[in-house]
Amino acid sequence: MSEPTQKLRLGALIALVVGSMIGGGIFSLPQNMAASAGAGAVLIGWGITAVGMLALAFVFQTLANRKPELDAGVYAYAKAGFGDYMGFSSAWGYWISAWLGNVSYFVLLFSTLGYFFPVFGEGNTVAAIVGASVVLWAVHFLVLRGIKEAAFINLITTVAKVVPLIMFVVITAVAFKMDIFTSDFWGRGNTDLGTVMDQVRNMMLVTVWVFIGIEGASIYSARAEKRSDVGKATVIGFIGTLLLLVMVNVLSMGIMSQPELAELKNPSMAYVLEHVVGHWGAILISVGLVISLLGALLSWVLLCAEIMHAAASDHTMPNFLKKMSSKGVPTNALWLTNILVQAFLIITLFAASTYTSLLYLATSMILIPYFWSAAYAVLIGVKGETYEQDPGARKKDLIIGGIALIYAIWLLYAGGFKYILLSALLYAPGALLFAKAKREQNLQVFTAIEKVIVVATVFGAAFAAYGLYDGFLTL
């Protein structure tokens, strides 16, 4: 947006990054991690995640500074480096990941409210879906009022939700017991956890889920008041969020044993704090989670609409998604996103147990966009592109990009073949929209290489569909 009233300052950009990452995941982290790994494997997993995600954060910072003309972040990097269809797939996968995540957020939100109002049950009763629908469309019309207004509210909710998290860290740090933390440190007492390597692998999708949103500032780079703020916001937001996540996870394992944590209901943070201070602790965390989810929903609704509009603006998506309101809001992209969220909310009434699986599927969908961003950083480093006046930075950026790329490949491996197949099932239909966009420009739809990729994706999707039908694959 060229209007000064739509420009976002550093604080708002940091809030978009933190607000996107700190949603519902951190409040369920103690149980989610304990269900997969013992304390030793958790520390190893966080070490891998810290290095890999920090490298990815630096990749987004570097690309924001070296490629300022690429204003759509994740999507634009894939297209610039690897062609139109890879760019489209990045935008498509990112978008699906975002709105699938919103569905699980709504269910978790009303599951938390069910702690106070039993009519909402586990977040998938009729009352919960009606309530979630009301909140969905309230957020929808708030965003329609304008990007800056919504970002300002996100800044407020980000500050508000961090307070109970900090209180949790302080209280559990005081109550932390080293003998509980070190008991069965490597999880060997629970054969279901598997080897340490298995444990580290199994916790990876959880760590990615809680970090999705790290690219939030780069998505809004075109709206930043200062271009240099985009990279700063990404790194500052990442480091602050990493510290919170690790402390919440590790301190919880010194309050209750791994088997006890694994059996908790979610949001498990509430029950950990209740174990220390009593009932008011659960209330504090539940209120914090409600605020957190509302803020995260706002961030992700914004990101969903922005990524589709950006892709439509350069004809990668069909033209109807390019429409903007007088307030600078991509209206058609926003409507399409929230209609699909509404449809999946209704589906949760009939498939009550699927939202957790959708959360993991949402995580796997975003791995491809992350992979292509890291690959693009390596590509421009290898070519020396943009390093003509700064050759000294080339080696450093190549090392960082290489680490991020290896990490992205590791995540695809850790997620497992099941989620690669299920992702193909969601990626395949997107080719129809890509073809529509190309035909609107009277251009050839696919290059030779893209045809091979599309055929492989369709084959994978067909195999996944058969797997769901036959039962050897499940959501």
Domain ranges of the chain: 4-415
- Percent of the chain exceeding pLDDT 70 equals 90
Residue 6 has pLDDT above 60, yes or no: no
User: For the chain, what is the largest distance between any 2 Cα atoms, rounded to a whole number of angstroms?
Assistant: 68
Contact indicator for 270, 256 with CB cutoff of 8 Å? no
**Residue whose pair of structure tokens reads 């390093």 in the numeric block:** 387
User: What are the b/e assignments for 65-82, b being 16+ CB within 10 Å?
Assistant: ebbeebbbbbbbbbbbbb
- Dihedral sign of CA atoms 37, 42, 48, 52 in order: positive
Give Cα 333 distance to the centre of its chain: 19
* Least confident window among 53-62, 378-387, 448-457: 53-62
Residue 275 has pLDDT above 90, yes or no: yes
Nearest partner of 416 among 102, 36, 85, 25, judged by Cα: 36
Tokens of 325: 């309101």
* Least confident window among 30-44, 111-125, 213-227, 299-313: 213-227
Q: What are phi and psi of 51, to 5 degrees?
A: -65, -50
Q: Give the residue-averaged pLDDT of 97-106.
A: 86
**Which of the two residues, 7 and 304, has the higher pLDDT score?**
304
Q: Report the pLDDT value the prediction gives residue 180, as an integer from 0 to 100.
A: 94
Tell me the per-residue pLDDT of 320-372, one tens digit each, with 9 for 90 and over.
998 888 877 889 999 999 999 998 888 877 765 445 666 777 888 888 888 99
Tell me the per-residue pLDDT of 185-220, one tens digit each, with 9 for 90 and over.
998 877 788 889 889 988 888 888 787 767 665 666
**Which of the two residues, 187 and 307, has the higher pLDDT score?**
187
Q: Would you put residue 314 in left (φ > 0), alpha (ψ -120 to 50) or beta?
A: alpha
| Rounded Cα–Cα distance for residues 19 and 244 (Å) | 13
Q: DSSP secondary structure string, 104-137?
A: HHHHHHHHHHTTT-GGGTTTTSHHHHHHHHHHHH
Q: Report the pLDDT value the prediction gives residue 40, as an integer from 0 to 100.
A: 93
At 337, which amino acid appears?
T
At 354, which amino acid appears?
T
Q: Report the pLDDT value the prediction gives residue 215, as an integer from 0 to 100.
A: 67
Q: Give the residue-averaged pLDDT of 384-412.
A: 90
| Rounded Cα–Cα distance for residues 141 and 338 (Å) | 11
Q: Report the pLDDT value the prediction gives residue 382, as an integer from 0 to 100.
A: 93
* Least confident window among 115-119, 129-133, 288-292, 337-341: 288-292
Tokens of 160: 């508000």
Residue 303 has pLDDT above 90, yes or no: no
| Rounded Cα–Cα distance for residues 329 and 309 (Å) | 9
Q: DSSP secondary structure string, 11-65?
A: HHHHHHHHHHHSSSHHHHHHHHHHTT--HHHHHHHHHHHHHHHHHHHHHHHHHHH
Q: Report the pLDDT value the prediction gives residue 5, as an integer from 0 to 100.
A: 44
| Rounded Cα–Cα distance for residues 88 and 430 (Å) | 8
Q: How far is CA 266 from CA 29, 38, 291, 403, in A?
A: 9, 19, 16, 33
Q: DSSP secondary structure string, 156-180?
A: HHHHHHHHHHHHHHHHHHHH--HHH
Q: Does domain 4-415 have CATH number 3.20.20.105?
A: no
**Residue 224 bridge partners (DSSP):** 8
Q: Would you call 15 exposed, middle or buried from its count of C-beta atoms within 10 A (0-12, 13-18, 19+)? A: buried
Q: What is the pTM of this model?
A: 0.83
Tell me the per-residue pLDDT of 23-76, one tens digit each, with 9 for 90 and over.
677 888 898 899 889 999 999 999 999 899 889 888 887 887 788 888 666 778
Of 4-8, 160-164, 372-376, highest mean pLDDT = 372-376
Nearest partner of 171 among 93, 251, 114, judged by Cα: 251
User: What are the b/e assignments for 252-263, b being 16+ CB within 10 Å?
Assistant: bbbbbbbebbbe
**Residue 242 bridge partners (DSSP):** none
**Which of the two residues, 458 and 307, has the higher pLDDT score?**
458
Q: What are phi and psi of 422, to 5 degrees?
A: -65, -35
**Predicted confidence band of residue 247 (pLDDT cuts 50, 70, 90):** very high
Average pLDDT, the chain: 84
Tokens of 376: 């693009």
| Rounded Cα–Cα distance for residues 76 and 57 (Å) | 16
Q: What residues contact 460, with CB distance under 8 A and at least 6 apart?
A: 420, 421, 424, 425, 428
Q: Report the pLDDT value the prediction gives residue 3, as an integer from 0 to 100.
A: 42
Dihedral angle computed from the Cα positions of residues 113, 14, 138 and 27, in that order, rounded to the nearest 10 degrees: -10
**Residue whose pair of structure tokens reads 């699986």 in the numeric block:** 357
- Dihedral sign of CA atoms 139, 141, 146, 147 in order: positive
At 402, which amino acid appears?
G
Q: Would you call 134 exposed, middle or buried from its count of C-beta atoms within 10 A (0-12, 13-18, 19+)? A: exposed
Please state, as a whole number, how many other Cβ atoms lie within 10 Å of the Cβ of residue 380. 22
